[in-house]
Structure 1
């Protein structure tokens, strides 16, 4: 049996009444997984299974709509908030189209919010499909995963020998939350869409990704020079470290490449990641004791030296997302 990312019981981090010994034990397990794999499954996460099931039902109902109906809320209509639907082949990884379709959502911000008024990317109202209960259920799910994200970041802090509140005090008190619904069609890509993967090799940008995936499978993780499957485990989420947590820990926690194979299962594959990221204006800096980190360009999929990054999370994510949707990036004032 081939290795796969470890399973970590995080119930002590979620339970406000759990003792320090139990929280520290869960944090040690997370720390080991973040250092060795950069990926881990979490059980005991406290997210209501009925809520997860309802979100899955609504996501499948959305993707079952006719393409014309889904295109009533295109990403182009979301402006710099980068919210809405894109069709299969409409998102790029490393300059090549992925064979998936998706719906981009996130924290719901009103038009009078200062960042919405200023046109700050990734901030704004969502574009909602006309499916009863969709908005209310998805927002409840975002709230539930935000609570889990805070608990997991407390675990990261303990694992690093820091106060539990460290990340809350350094960028995650009001995190940037981005939710994605991805559908990987079982139908083959047409000849004019040169897709080799459901999602090509990449790393995630922020702190922590919390992924629900259905039972089709296809997620693959690179550890050292080998690729390993991360198959679905019922009742769990898959979590992985993002670039900014790698940078903040000087490479102790690894943001590792992953990809999704073309779906040939005979049925569509659904995945729903939530990206738990720092506040947009957070200046990314090493955590106490981490040091500056060593040049890691040799191990990274994009050849970039992540440890050399200086700036805010907004600086980093703007450059990255602009490559995923080049046409939307042209709408930014500074894009020229």
Structure 2
């Protein structure tokens, strides 16, 4: 068992955002965090706080509506695109319902997009609620998070001693973009009701804006540590495919959410993942040591061969089994 960490580290991205000779300082800090916990906060990211506050307020307005209003954009209406709203308990982690509700968004794909015409799951148009400014705020946010994702991946590449564009050139030139807005109500009397149970993320990089309610926990060295809110920051963690590409040098770390604040919790995770057709290959397979019995799901990501789309479809179909069956994914 590894020793683990006592606190999630904070990385100042300003040198990478600005560019220049001192960006290696931030790159080394990212590398150290990825080798250690697989989780880190980022500050100095350049994301407009006014945009973040606007999106936060709009999401709270949506979740405060009656269920019937929210179900007007339920996920079933998007079909294979897997976009829209799901109610509390509508998403599963390891087969157990999560104590959260949410909205799924992704890159906007018009009807003439080749994958939409081919009826490829997870491709299509978003379902937006009838709230003024909601659509514009979400699309602006996804554009900002995409920019930030490229900045962080550049730092990871430099930290690994690779060319700055290594990940962008090989797997993220046309990244798979997935954005979620989650609302975690406080548990009612059951202290073991998890907002989301233990899991790892599927792709390259997750960029999370959390509110001040807390509840995020990270597994490190066999024990759970808190990742409390840090004002003006994002929480970043690496996913299974970056674990796969680095041969286990960077680990996709299990995490979970337990809303113990006694009030509503809002979480805005953005998943910056490999391109749909990107072939996932190890950078240095000699370092691979990710045994399946060490993971929460007993899978071995280092045995995976294929495209990211194939990996993602199998994962999402387990989260929403009914939609997976409807899309022909088992």
Is TM more than 0.5 here? yes
Aligned to 2:67: 67
Aligned to 2:236: 239
Aligned to 2:199: 202
Is residue 97–residue 195 contact of structure 1 (8 Å, CA) maintained in 2? no
Task: Find out whether 1:297 has 2:292 as its counterpart.
Answer: yes
Aligned residues between the structures: 326
Task: Find out whether 1:307 has 2:308 as its counterpart.
Answer: no
Aligned to 2:218: 221
Is residue 215–residue 260 contact of structure 2 (8 Å, CA) maintained in 1? no
1:149-298 counterparts in 2 under 5 A?
A: 149-186=149-186, 188=188, 196-261=193-258, 263-287=259-283, 289-291=284-286, 293-298=288-293
Aligned to 1:133: 133
Distance in 1, matches of 2:290 and 2:233, equals 34
Shift, 1:118, TM fit: 1.2
What SS does structure 2 have at the residue aligned with 1:71? helix
Is residue 38–residue 253 contact of structure 2 (8 Å, CA) maintained in 1? yes
RMSD over aligned Cα atoms: 1.6
Superposed CA offset, 1:233-279 (max 9, x none): 00000000000000000011110100001x24221000000000001
Instruction: Structure 2 unaligned segments of length 5 or more: list them.
Output: none
What SS does structure 2 have at the residue aligned with 1:246? helix
Task: Find out whether 1:34 has 2:63 as its counterpart.
Answer: no
Shift, 1:195, TM fit: 7.4
Aligned to 2:7: 4
Shift, 1:12, TM fit: 1.3
Structure 2 length as normaliser, TM-score? 0.96
Is residue 80–residue 122 contact of structure 2 (8 Å, CA) maintained in 1? yes
Task: Find out whether 1:44 has 2:39 as its counterpart.
Answer: no
Distance in 2, matches of 1:120 and 1:43, equals 37
What SS does structure 2 have at the residue aligned with 1:333? coil
Distance in 2, matches of 1:95 and 1:311, equals 25
Aligned to 2:20: 19
Superposed CA offset, 1:131-162 (max 9, x none): 00000111001000100000000001001110
Structure 1 length as normaliser, TM-score? 0.94
Distance in 1, matches of 2:198 and 2:309, equals 23
Is residue 292–residue 307 contact of structure 1 (8 Å, CA) maintained in 2? no
**Structure 1 consecutive aligned stretches of length 4 or more whose deviation exceeds 6 Å:** none
Instruction: Structure 1 unaligned segments of length 5 or more: list them.
Output: none
Is residue 98–residue 195 contact of structure 1 (8 Å, CA) maintained in 2? no
